[in-house]
């Protein structure tokens, strides 16, 4: 994986998340405080600022800088967790493998582990962790099946979407939504939907180019 390749993926993901801000606010409003779209738009803006000045950064440095910028600009629980994911991914790719799929696996494994620990959430709690876990599983499967990057991202995006839809029927056990679990019922977790939107944009980018 190259830093410029990574920057391309991050840029389309940030645009997609920003474009979905209203939808994310609405979903977060059912059981949270309804500001996930606002917070994640701030994170996306910060990320794009980093990308604009990213020349010369390595893959690991680029991810770590994104993490630090998100922590600075989106100081909420969700921003803190997303920042943690980027920082851990950056550490995991300090010496990145050439193969993009292998790099993605390492990055997502590290991000998942970091976010689980910091957010004290496990798979099944109806949080972003459910989506990340599904994506990580899908990436691992693609790596062991020797699939190419575009196909790998396509499958990962589908897994993210399916995982997000499944959260609608899950009971929230961690995070803000667990304070009023009945209000979350029937609506997908906003964090998982955000991940699905980002992954879909990344998959489309890989498909086109």
Partner 1 sequence: MPMQKIINEPKAFVDEMLEGILLAHPESLRSPARRVLVRAGAPSEGKVGIVTGGGSGHLPLFLGYVGYGLADGVAVGDVFASPSSEQILEATRAVDGGTGVLYLYGNYGGDVMNFDLAAELASEEGIETSTVLGTDDVASAPAGPESRRRGVAGIALLYKVAGARAEEGASLEDVVAVVERAASGLRSMGVALSPCVVPAAGEPTFSLAAGEMEIGMGIHGEPGVGRGSLEPASEIAGQLVGRIVADLPFRSGDEAAVLVNGLGATPREELYVLFRSVHAALASSGVTVRWTWVGEYATSLEMAGASVSVLRLDDEILRLLDAPCESPFVVRR
Sites of contact with partner 1 (CB under 8 A): 64, 68, 71-72, 75, 77, 80-81, 83-84, 87, 118-120
Q: Supply the minimum distance, in Å, between the C-beta of residue 128 and partner 1.
A: 14
Q: How far is the CB of 64 from partner 1 (least distance, A)?
A: 7
Nearer to partner 1, 80 or 140 (CB): 80
Q: Using alpha carbons only, how large is the chain's radius of gyration in Å?
A: 16
Residue 67 or 131 having the CB closest to partner 1: 67
Could you tell me the smallest distance in angstroms from the CB atom of residue 13 to partner 1? 21
Cα distances from 154 to residues 20, 193, 200, in angstroms, run 20, 16, 7
- What does the alpha-carbon distance between residue 183 and residue 19 come to, in Å, rounded to a whole number? 25
DSSP string, 39-85: HHHHHHHHHHHHHHT-TT--HHHHHHHHHHHHHHH--SHHHHHHHHH
Token pair, residue 28, equals 């977060």
**114 and 84 Cβ atoms separated by less than 8 Å:** yes
- 43 vs 139 by CB, closer to partner 1: 43
Nearest to partner 1 of 61, 140 (CB atom): 61
To the nearest whole angstrom, how small is the minimum distance from the Cβ of residue 93 to partner 1?
14
């Amino acid at each position: 994986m190259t830093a410029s390749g990574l920057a391309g993926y991050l840029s389309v993901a940030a645009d997609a998340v920003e474009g979905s801000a209203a939808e994310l606010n609405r979903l977060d409003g059912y059981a949270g405080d309804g500001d996930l779209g606002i917070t994640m738009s701030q994170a996306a803006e910060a990320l794009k600022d980093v990308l604009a000045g990213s020349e010369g950064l390595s893959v690991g440095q680029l991810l770590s800088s994104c993490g630090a910028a998100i922590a600075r600009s989106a100081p909420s629980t969700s921003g803190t967790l997303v920042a943690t994911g980027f920082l851990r991914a950056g550490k995991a790719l300090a010496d990145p493998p050439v193969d993009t799929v292998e790099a993605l696996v390492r990055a997502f494994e590290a991000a998942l582990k970091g976010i689980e620990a910091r957010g004290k959430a496990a798979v099944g709690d109806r949080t972003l962790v459910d989506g990340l876990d599904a994506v990580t599983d899908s990436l691992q499967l693609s790596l062991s099946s020797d699939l190419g990057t575009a196909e790998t991202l396509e499958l990962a995006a589908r897994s993210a979407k399916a995982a997000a839809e499944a959260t609608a029927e899950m009971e929230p056990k961690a995070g803000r939504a667990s304070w009023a679990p009945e209000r979350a019922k029937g609506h997908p977790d906003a964090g998982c939907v955000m991940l699905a939107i980002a992954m879909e944009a990344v998959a489309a980018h890989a498909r086109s180019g």
